Amino acid sequence: MPRANEQQSRVFYKGKVDDFVIFVDDAQALNNWRKDRTIPLAQVVSGWKIFVTHRHGAQGVLDTASNGSLESEFGTHNEDEVVKQILEKGELQQTVGRERQGDKNPSDGPSVPH
C-alpha cells in the first residue's frame, strides 16, 4: 500500500543571512490566521519547530535553527515572535510527498536472495 503521498504545507522565509522554513497544518489554516490573529498558533503550525536551510533555498537540508541564527535574523530568539514573523512575511509552499512502498510481509525475511 503506498504511503507518504499526502500534501505538505510549509512557509518559506528568505532572510538576509539564512533561509527559514516552518511546517503548517494546511494553507487554509494559515490564511485564516493571517486574517484573524485570535486563532491560536498551535492550530496553524505543525510541530512548532523552526528550520534553517543554510542559504540552500526551500529545498535545502533542514536543520533546527539555533538561537544565534534567530537572533541575528529577527533580532530575538523568542520562538513565538519568530514564528509570527515568518508566517506573516513568508511564502506558502505546498508539495505532495513522493509515494513509496513498504515491506508487505516482514515475517518472510529478506526479499533479496543470498
In a domain, 39, yes or no: yes
DSSP secondary structure string for all residues of the chain: --BS-SEEEEEEEE-SS-EEEEEES-HHHHHHHHH-TTS-GGGTBSS---EE-TTS-TTS--EEPPHHHHHHHHS---HHHHHHHHHHHSEEEEEEPPPB---S-GGG--SS--
In a domain, 102, yes or no: no
The pTM assigned to this predicted structure is 0.75
* pLDDT, position 71: 93
In a domain, 70, yes or no: yes
* Cell numbers describing residue 90: 513568508
- The residue range of the domain holding 19 is 9-94
In a domain, 99, yes or no: no
In a domain, 45, yes or no: yes
Instruction: Please count the structural domains in the chain.
Output: 1
* pLDDT, position 108: 63
Per-residue pLDDT 10s for the chain (114 aa) are 455 556 778 999 998 988 999 999 888 999 999 999 899 998 999 888 999 988 877 777 889 999 999 999 999 999 999 999 999 999 998 876 656 566 666 666 666 665
In a domain, 77, yes or no: yes
Contact between 93 and 58 (Cβ < 8 Å): yes
- CATH number, domain with residue 23: 3.30.1250.10
In a domain, 73, yes or no: yes
In a domain, 67, yes or no: yes
